[in-house]
Structures are given as C-alpha cells and as structure tokens.
C-alpha cells in the first residue's frame, strides 16, 4: 500500500508514570503461630482502631519474632544435650517408661527448634 494514501498520522502519547513505593515486605514465619502470645498479640493488634489493622498486626508479629527469635541455636543445642543425656540413661539396664517418654518429649522439642532454626535461615 502506498504510504501517501494513508489517512492517519502517527501519534505519540506519554502517560503519567506511576511511582512505585518500595515498601519492605513482611515475611510471616510459621513457627510464630506456636508461641503462646501469638493469638493474643494478633487479637489485640486487630482490635485497636488507630491505624490500618494489617500494619498493627505486622508490627506485633515483628515484635514477637524478635522477642522469641533470640537464641534458637542455643535452644537447639540444649535440646540435643538433653536428648543425649536421656538416651544414655535409657541404656542402663533398668529401662524406665518415664525415661522413654522423656526421650520422646526431648526428641519433639529438638525437632521443633531445628525446624524453627531452619525456617529462619
């Protein structure tokens, strides 16, 4: 087709560029839900009407995360030592049901803290 026969001309339209705010995303760790204070913090933050609920909950969970997050490596080591101690006691000929239950509790505790440590890293 001959360009001289076209009945329209090119048009350039500049649209206003949107400014994207760079807010830091909140990362929710599943282990936070295991803390005793979790539900209480969320309910308290959600019920106050000063600012948007989402931001209050985010701040409360950050506070809970920083408060409970300290020393997870120490807790993993403590759980490992306690489990080792109970296992050594079970090896003694007088096998005790209570010690076996205690071993299971320490094993669960160790797995819990190792999962928390893994989810943080």
Q: Are residues 76 and 62 in the same domain?
A: no
Q: Check whether residue 44 and residue 86 sit in a common domain.
A: no
Contact in structure between 32 and 61 (CB atoms under 8 Å): yes
**Closest by alpha carbon to 63, among 89, 109, 24, 26?**
26
Q: Which of 70, 85, 102 is the last residue of a domain?
A: 70
Q: Look up the pTM and report it.
A: 0.34
In a domain, 20, yes or no: no
3 within some domain = no
Domain check: are 52 and 76 in the same one? no
Q: How many CB atoms lie within 10 A of CB 60?
A: 20
Positive/negative CA dihedral, 31, 34, 39, 44: negative
Same domain, 78 and 63: no
Q: Does residue 82 sit in the same domain as residue 106? A: yes
Residue range(s) defining the domain that contains residue 41: 27-70
Q: In this structure, is residue 15 part of a structural domain?
A: no
Q: Does one domain contain both 101 and 57? A: no
In a domain, 13, yes or no: no
pLDDT tens for the chain, 121 residues: list them.
555 565 667 777 777 777 666 676 767 777 777 777 778 877 777 776 665 666 777 777 777 767 655 667 777 788 888 888 877 777 765 667 777 788 888 888 888 888 887 777 6
Beta-carbon contacts of 61 under 8 Å, excluding residues fewer than 6 positions away, are 26, 28, 32, 41, 42
Structural domains of the chain, count: 2
Question: Do residues 32 and 75 share a domain?
Answer: no
């Amino acid at each position: 087709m001959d360009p001289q026969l076209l009945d329209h001309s090119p048009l350039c339209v500049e649209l206003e560029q949107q400014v994207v705010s760079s807010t830091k995303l909140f990362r929710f760790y599943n282990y936070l839900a295991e803390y005793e204070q979790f539900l209480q913090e969320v309910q308290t933050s959600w019920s106050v009407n000063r600012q948007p609920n989402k931001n209050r909950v985010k701040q409360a969970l950050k506070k809970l995360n920083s408060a409970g997050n300290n020393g997870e490596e120490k807790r993993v080591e403590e759980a490992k030592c306690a489990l080792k101690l109970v296992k050594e006691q079970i090896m003694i000929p007088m096998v005790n049901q209570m010690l076996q239950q205690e071993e299971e509790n320490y094993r669960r505790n160790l797995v819990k803290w190792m999962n928390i440590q893994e989810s943080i890293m």
